[in-house]
Amino acid sequence: MKIIIPLLTRSKKNSQQILINSRTHKPFVAQSKLYKEFEQECGYYLNKYKLNIDHPVNLKCTFIVPDKRTRDLTNLENAIADILVKYNVLKDDNYNIIQGWDGSRIIYEKGKEETIIEIEEINNEWITRDRRREWTF
C-alpha cells in the first residue's frame, strides 16, 4: 500500500516546548505548534486508510525535502510511526508490527515537499500462530 502526503514531515523531537501547568504550576514537555499542525494536516490524508494493521510490516518512507538542511532520518520515521498509530493505520508502533524501515531515505528536490509511505506486509516463516517469536533453523 502506498500513501502520499504532500507535506514536509516535521520531527517531534527537535521543537519540543517546556510549558507550565496552570493548575499544578509544574513544568511539562509539549509538542511544538508546528508539529501539532503537521499531525492534524496528516489526518486529512490518512482518514481513508483506517486499517488498524496488527501484523508485521516494513515501512518504507521517502521524505522529499525542499532544501539541503541536515535532517535526522530516525526522528522523521518516529514522527510518521506515531501519526500512523494516531490515525489508526497501524494498531501500534512496536517491534511486533513495524519490523523494519528498509528503503527509507531523505531526497532533496528543490521546492518540493512530500512524504511517501509504503507499507509492505512481512511474511516471516518463524512467526508461530500465537505470534511469539521462535527461530527455526
Domain boundaries defined on the chain: 2-121
In sequence order, which ranges of the chain are alpha helices (DSSP H)? 33-46, 73-86
Rounded to whole angstroms, the Cα distance separating 102 from 73 reads 12
Which class does domain 2-121 fall in? Answer: alpha beta
- Chunked mean pLDDT (size 10), the chain, 137 residues: 93 80 88 88 92 93 95 93 95 93 95 95 64 50
Rounded to whole angstroms, the Cα distance separating 80 from 61 reads 9
Note the pLDDT of residue 125. Answer: 58
Note the pLDDT of residue 137. Answer: 46
Note the pLDDT of residue 11. Answer: 85
Note the pLDDT of residue 29. Answer: 86
**Residue ranges with strand state E in the chain:** 2-5, 17-20, 27-30, 57-65, 98-100, 105-108, 114-121
Rounded to whole angstroms, the Cα distance separating 84 from 130 reads 24
CA 74 to chain centroid:
10
**Torsion, Cα of 137, 125, 93, 50 (10° steps):** 180
Note the pLDDT of residue 19. Answer: 85
Note the pLDDT of residue 72. Answer: 92
